[in-house]
Amino acid sequence: MSAIENRLTDLGITLPDAAAPAANYVPFVRTGNQLFISGQLPMEAGKILFTGKLGNDVSLEDGKAAAKTCAINLLAQAKAATGHLDKVVRLVKIVGFVNSTADFTDQPQVINGASDFLVDAMGDAGRHARSAVSAASLPFGAAVEIEAIFEITD
């Protein structure tokens, strides 16, 4: 078991199977030592757990939980792409999209749900650059979507 998976076990997290793409794209692309993970939704067992808009019908706490679920799914995709999380050197960047009303301004706090979890799961290798932006709508009405870039090794 990898160091990241040991940390996940300590956190009480079991990685799900990586989700299949919902349209005409691939879930990840590896180029050189970089791994680009397509946007992940707050899905568990094939169901979106958090739908709606922050600033309207989704609380800040639920938004953070949605972001954490997206981050868990990012790690599941990284494992599917590499075969083993020991091949993940570090998280380089995440981009978080928050389905929110025009006057909602706490997108960074929402995406902290992912950032905090990824640092807990990966230690210093989980510290990353980041963008947190508002979206008028997200696929399937999801509250949050997050994509990532990892540095990996052979």
Q: What is the pLDDT of residue 29?
A: 98
pLDDT bin (cut points 50, 70, 90) of residue 1 is confident
For range 10-34, the mean pLDDT: 94
Length of the chain: 154
pLDDT in tens, 26-70: 999 999 999 999 999 999 999 999 999 999 999 999 999 999 999
Q: In Å, how far from its chain's centre is CA 112? A: 11
Q: Which domains, ranges and CATH numbers included, belong to the chain?
A: 3-11+28-152 (3.30.1330.40)
pLDDT in tens, 113-145: 999 999 999 999 999 999 999 999 999 999 999
Question: In angstroms, rounded to a whole number, what is the distance separating the alpha carbons of residues 132 and 129?
Answer: 10
CB atoms within 10 A of CB 119: 15
- Tokens read off for 113: 């749900």
Long-range pairs for 11-15: beta carbons < 8 A, 24 or more residues apart:
11/120, 11/121, 13/72, 13/121, 15/72, 15/75, 15/76, 15/79
Half-sphere exposure of 85 (CA within 13 A, CB side): 20
Q: What is the pLDDT of residue 48?
A: 97
Whether the per-residue pLDDT at 21 is higher than 80: the answer is yes
